[in-house]
Amino acid sequence: MPVATPEQYHAMLDSAQKGAYAYPAINVTSIVTINGALKAFADKRSDGIIQVSHGAGKFASGLNVSDMVTGAVVLAEATHRLAEEYDILVALHTDHCQPDKVDSFLKPLIAETARRREAGRPNLFQSHMLDASELPLDQNMALSQDLLKSCAENEIILEVEAGVVGGEEDGVDTSGQSKDKLYTTPDDMLQVYESLQGLGRYMFAATFGNVHGSYKPGVVKLRPEILKNGQEAVIAKYGDDAEFDLVFHGGSGSSLEEIRETLDYGVIKMNIDTDTQYAFTRPIVDHMMKNYDGVLKIDGEVGNKKAYDPRVYLKLAEAAVAERLGQACDDLRSTGNTIFQKA
């Protein structure tokens, strides 16, 4: 049963924290990207996290339905079935959900897991993300508390965020935010701990200059020491058990040195989206340009069915996604660290 149970997911995160490695968390939009993710994790003997945004859910439900919950359920159900063929563990997670979508996206998905549990079935998703970073921290934590309680009742882990990840992702643009919000302070981290401690297990996306999107090296100014300082402040006041399970957003273009440094400060999950989107698209474009006469019926010709059959170029996309995600496993040191046989 390679979609992790709640107990297995806890063990995954504990193992990553203890071993100073992190899980790549890939955003998926289709069966092709799910298969690419599963291939990468299996090839690298790494457990991993497959996540769905509300935009991906809307896309996956089709143009006529266009419903983010329906599509998210479809992608999750597909992952459950496909993952049965593999000997690594994956967890299912939902990515950034802003406060205005909590009632229309997160709560229906939590309710879906509750219905499954009542029927003796496993959780649909193992974790969800609330991105209430647009709110003042007091309001952010109040909403986080309510959702964490609901998640904990269903053995779901909640990811929260304090501070703002810059750039744009899934239609949400934070580029106009002031630069100071790109950096979470030790006081912020203390407030998060004090607000959520004892309510249930959670992950914390603290910000240290992260920016969504793809940039040339040197453009994004990361300050990983912010994570170190925040962890030290919380541990100094509440002890070693207060160490956060941290999440790294907006890592495209980060150097390997920066990525590895965050692992030493408690990062156990890193989102991989922009780079895998490009990995998916690049071989498709290459195929189209090399087979222009075949994929188009030019001047009344019939083209080449073997060139325009979507399976031909989507297989290339799947393989490219797997290759890029496999690189992330190596970068994050999760390669070879599956706990599947131990679980």
Catalytic positions, please? 95
d(CA 142, CA 243): 21
Those residues with Cβ within 8 angstroms of residue 230's Cβ, 6 or more apart along the chain or in another chain: 184, 185, 186, 188, 189, 190, 206, 244
Q: Which residue has the tokens 């989507």?
A: 314
> Residue 267, Cβ neighbours under 10 Å: how many?
30
* Token pair for 303: 């083209």
Residue of 214, 91, 222, 203 lying closest to 157 (CA atoms): 203
Q: Largest Cα–Cα distance in the chain?
A: 75
CA–chain centroid gap for 196, Å, is 21
Q: Which residue has the tokens 């499954």?
A: 116
Residue of 88, 80, 91 lying closest to 26 (CA atoms): 91
d(CA 94, CA 134): 18
d(CA 84, CA 271): 23
d(CA 106, CA 127): 10
Helix 137-153 to helix 186-196 angle (10° resolution) is 40
For 17-45, b/e burial (b = at least 16 CB within 10 A) is beeebbbbbbbbbbbbbbbbbbbbbbebb
Residue of 51, 177, 48, 161 lying closest to 109 (CA atoms): 51
Please provide the size of the chain in residues.
343
